[in-house]
Each structure stands twice: as structure tokens, then as C-alpha cells.
Amino acid sequence: MSSNVGLSLISSIEILKKIEKLDFLVLSSYELTKLPLDLSHLKTLKELYLKDNPKLHYKKAFKILQNLEALKILVLSNNDIKKLPRNLEKLSQIKGLVLDENSNINIKKLCERIQEMQRLEVLLLRNNNLSKLPVDLRGFSNLKLLELSNNVFSETEKSRIKNELPDTQVTF
């Protein structure tokens, strides 16, 4: 949809609401500052791609997204995210979260927020210039996959992370 410049986002969502079963929606590179309220009517939406929208107001966006009970995968890559809002835990239905290419992200705060996401199984943090993860990784204990490639972890830190998360497939 991001390449359809003739359609406004609002009119596009109006059209999409009429589709009975919409599984995924790509709103990447739309220069969004907020999500349309009507997005919450897309009850069957399972995957939402919001890549390349660095001006998006996430606290307000997450209020809309928490109403999407079928939403399982959320892609927030390359959005210059520094920290995620406190209401991240309200997205309890999310199983996969992609935060690639957000090199200013506060990893300590992220770990605190992730602890509340009990269903989260996959977390992608590629290309974030990370060199360490917090000492307390309890927030990651439910993860099945933690993708950390293209960061700057030392071998010692890589070993520590793998030892702390024995039931998680960690890739560097």
C-alpha cells in the first residue's frame, strides 16, 4: 500500500475494513505520525509492518494496536526508536516483535518492557549497534528466538547471553 500514492491512508483503511479476512498490512515508509483509528476495525489482522516511520507516536499507536486481538507480528524496524512506551505490555497478543535498525534504542528499558509481553516468542534486534544486554535477562526467558546479528557483542558477552537463555535460540 505504501507505493499507492493516489490513495490516502484514511481512504485505504476504509477500503480495507470491507475485506473480511485481512492477514497482513504493510504501512512502511508512509511517514506516519499516528495510526488511523479505523485500523482497530481490522480484526483479523495478524501482521503489521510499520517500518521506516520514525515520526510515529508509539504510545498512541499502541492504544490502537492493543485492540487488534489477532495481531501476532509487529515490525517496527528503522524507526529511530529510543524507548518503547509503557503500554507495550498491553500488546499481550504479540508473538513476534521486529526492532531491527533502531540503533538508539535503550536496551535496558526495552528489556523491562519485554518482561510484560508473556506471549512474545521471537525478538529481532539486528543492526542496532548493541554491545551488551542487561545483566537481568528474565524478560527474554519466554523467547524461542532472539536474533542479534550485525551488532557489536564481544565473544564474552555472546557466551553470557547464550548461557543466560539456554532454552532460546540466540543468533549473532
**Could you tell me the pTM of the whole model?**
0.90
Domains, the chain: 9-171 (3.80.10.10)
Residue-wise pLDDT tens digits, 42-94: 999 999 999 999 999 999 999 999 999 999 999 999 999 998 888 888 888 99
Residue-wise pLDDT tens digits, 96-113: 999 999 999 999 989 888
Q: Indicate the residue type of 136.
A: D
**What burial letters (b/e) apply to 88-117, b meaning 16+ CB within 10 Å?**
bbbbebbbbbbbbbbeebebeebbbbbbeb
